[in-house]
């Protein structure tokens, strides 16, 4: 999903997989309180939220696969 908003405050994720609690968020300035609040909000809600630079395609694929609820054997 492109353009996801979390909670009443509308914390922004650029791309999100809500059913997998996984999101890509914009980077902010170091020490930016709004960025820190956003990151805390996603973390408190159980999300894996990182900037695009902090994710690899393999990281996202693994997390989505691991949390898809299906059993592979």
Summarised one tens digit per residue, pLDDT across range 23-38 is 999 998 888 999 999 9
Q: What are the angstrom distances between the C-alpha of 27 and each of 11, 47, 50, 54?
A: 13, 16, 8, 10
Quick check: 51 and 27 in contact, CB under 8 A?
A: yes
- pLDDT average, residue stretch 8-36: 93
- What's the CA gap between 33 and 73, in Å, rounded? 44
- The answer to whether residue 71 sits within a structural domain is no
Does residue 20 lie within any of the structural domains? yes
Residue 71: pLDDT over 50:
no
Overall number of domains in the chain: 1
Of the listed ranges 20-24, 29-33, 38-42, 63-67, the least confidently predicted one is 63-67
Residue with tokens 């890509």: 24
In which band, very low, low, confident or very high, does the pLDDT at 66 lie, cut at 50, 70 and 90?
A: confident
Q: Determine, yes or no, domain membership for 18.
A: yes
Does 62 map to a domain? yes
- Cα(27)–Cα(35) distance, integer angstroms: 8
Whether 36 and 22 have beta carbons less than 8 Å apart is answered as: no
Q: Residue 72: inside a domain, yes or no?
A: no
């Amino acid at each position: 999903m492109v353009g996801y908003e979390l909670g009443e405050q509308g914390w922004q994720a650029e791309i999100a997989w809500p059913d997998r609690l996984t999101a890509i968020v914009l980077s902010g300035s170091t020490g930016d309180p709004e960025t820190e609040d956003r990151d805390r909000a996603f973390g408190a809600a159980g999300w894996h939220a990182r900037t695009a630079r902090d994710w690899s395609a393999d990281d996202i694929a693994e997390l989505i696969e691991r949390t898809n609820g299906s059993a592979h054997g």
